[in-house]
Amino acid sequence: MAKMSLLISVLVGNIFLLVAQQATAQPPSFLYHFCLNDKGNYTLNSTYQANLNHLLTTLPTSQNDNGYGFYNVSYGKGSDKVYAVGLCRGDATPDVCRNCLNDSTHVLTDICPNQKEAVGWYDNCMLRYSNRSMSGTPDTTQIFYMWNIQNVSSSNVKEYFDDLSTLLDGLKREAASGGSLRKYATGQVKAPEFLTIYALVQCTPDLSENQCINCLDNVYGQIPNCCSGKVGGRVIGPSCSVRYEKNLFYGSPNNAPPPSPEVTTGPINNTINNATEGQKSSDKTRIIIIAVVATVAGVALIIFFAVCLSLRKSKKKVQDLKIYEPVDEMESAESLQYNFETIKVATDQFSEDNKLGQGGFGAVYKGRLANGQDIAVKRLSRGSGQGDLEFKNEVMLVAKLQHRNLVRLLGFSLESSERLLVYEFVQNASLDHFIFDPIKRATLDWDRRYKIIGGVARGLLYLHEDSRLTIIHRDLKASNILLDEEMNPKIADFGMARLFVVDQTQGNTSRIVGTYGYMAPEYAMHGQFSAKSDVFSFGVLILEIVSGQKNNSFRQGEYVEDLLSYTWRIWREGNTSKMVDPLMRVGSASDVMRCIHIGLLCVQENIANRPTMNAIVLMLNSNSLSLPLPSEPAFFMHSNTGSHMSFGSDFNSRETTKSSNHSKSESINEASITEPFPR
């Protein structure tokens, strides 16, 4: 029996060790950051950098901890003095709090090198540092949003948000009335359809009661902008934040001693002693618990598996709530704003002679600024539902996307109802002017075409995965691929759905934008889009580049059919070389065949079978990588009713694309994405 008891004790001990490792092995969940470039930079190896490093090294340590997860410290003298504020969520234990802040001190300095002021957020903590004192000064300039992708039932939206408003109003008063050590409150309320709304609000405790109330009023006011109709959302700033969900996401407040006059006004050491006593008591409790559990190993096993399942579910919920890059302060947006008269002069009053193209989003004009710089100006159609503030924020988001294979957005102009977007001018017009022209496409040998395919793939990979925004293009086609003077490809119009109408970037939409022949079937028929719908369009583009023929008007002798169906037919017959452009000088036949193979993988009807852009880039760059066999693609048979469904746009072309809106009934989209939208 003694041996059996010992075995059970060892087993239970190992179980608890595994559970602890599962809980601690997950790195802190980083949300976002602001690097405040306009606040100044410090030089390497300067006194300021030394002071900053010293402060951040010593900040998440026990001697600076008051037991409530709030740190407000400074170090240095004069202009080299550094201030830092750390705040942990009210339910974070001291160990979780310090680990989170310790991680943030390393990450924030890495992603904001040389910046004197920066702020970063994790799930459990926030860290700020600056060359100015931040104590007692509410800051609502750096705010970002997150929201749950699930919608409230349309019949219950008003009641749901009325209940939420009542809950948040009470939590605001509770949090604001907290002492100088913690201003934090959580609560719940019953909602329609047997749901429960859980909410958490918090202010930095250096704020006064009125400052906390005003700060929370500010972030509450942003909820309709980001999270209207959503079952959960967050508005997060340096001084205060709010989060609500239909599922419980917070725990009990940490085990710090309750605020008292002595603790509030006394030295920090008193608080540390109290916290230490609490920690000792907690340690005794844990010993008792382990001793009891040692006699019920079976129950412990059940708990272990339940915890593992819970952790997996928790991880999924975090993945369901993606975060994207918010916009910096509006002062930065103003630096991108062009004077409307300046653009009118540059385009010669938007003359027809300077018109490059016309699309569903508006006309595009060539212009030349006074300094001699050539620009492309898109004059947006007057159909946007956004206000000026939202439009400026959208411009800032897209302007941050910088990649050699994306057309660069230089700025914007606003004048009454006029909205202009100013882009870099790309010399060689768009790919369709070359690939579909019987004379010009002869100048595109295989090496150039392969270079274009690879460049477009890298640009899409950046939009999907490598930028802090996640952008689904939704209208990738030959006329939206511009070619510079060295024939390098640049993807255009990658932010137009965002800049024109906000609701066009939802994962499931009733307004279909795109071009017939390039659209994935799940998007064309159900309004469902994801990164895999862009992959489908990229596959069509590959096959067009190889064949020199448009997908929806491919001809083989007298036989007219969809390029995809033709390619699939000859692939199964083993005669794929028949679809290669006869005008193209081929350098590597194996590379051509490999690209056809990749193209067919991209246009498979089954979404799950299509590769990601990351996998596609690897396939293009490694001939040794074996490719899976493609399954049947989705076919788009040729139609005489016209090829464009909606919103074509050609920066440097003179084509006019037709557009029409097709309403589709909304359905649940399992591949939907979280909508990025900043304050």
Catalytically active residues, by annotation: 475
At which residue do the structure tokens 């930028």 appear? 467
**Dist. CA 197–CA 230, nearest whole Å:** 12
**Dist. CA 65–CA 60, nearest whole Å:** 7
**Dist. CA 190–CA 196, nearest whole Å:** 5
Which phi and psi (to 5°) does residue 84 adopt?
Answer: -140, 145
Distances (CA, A) of 7 to 3, 290, 297, 302, 305: 6, 14, 10, 18, 20
**Dist. CA 130–CA 74, nearest whole Å:** 9
- Closest by CA to 244, choosing from 290, 191, 285, is 191
- Closest by CA to 88, choosing from 102, 104, 101, is 101
Structure tokens at 549: 């023929």
- Closest by CA to 152, choosing from 187, 190, 191, is 191
Structure tokens at 668: 């649940």
**Dist. CA 491–CA 477, nearest whole Å:** 9
- Closest by CA to 471, choosing from 503, 490, 496, is 496
**212 half-sphere exposure, CB direction, 13 A CA radius:** 25
Helix (H) or strand (E) holding 202: strand 195-203
Alpha helices in 475-555 (DSSP H): 496-500, 521-526, 531-547
Q: Are 262 and 270 in contact (CB under 8 A)?
A: yes
Q: What is the CA radius of gyration of the chain?
A: 29
At which residue do the structure tokens 């800032």 appear? 396
Structure tokens at 195: 């749901």
**Dist. CA 308–CA 60, nearest whole Å:** 29
CA dihedral 442, 446, 449, 454 (to 10 degrees): 180
Q: Are 70 and 280 in contact (CB under 8 A)?
A: no
User: What distance lies between CA 236 and its chain's CA centroid?
Assistant: 15
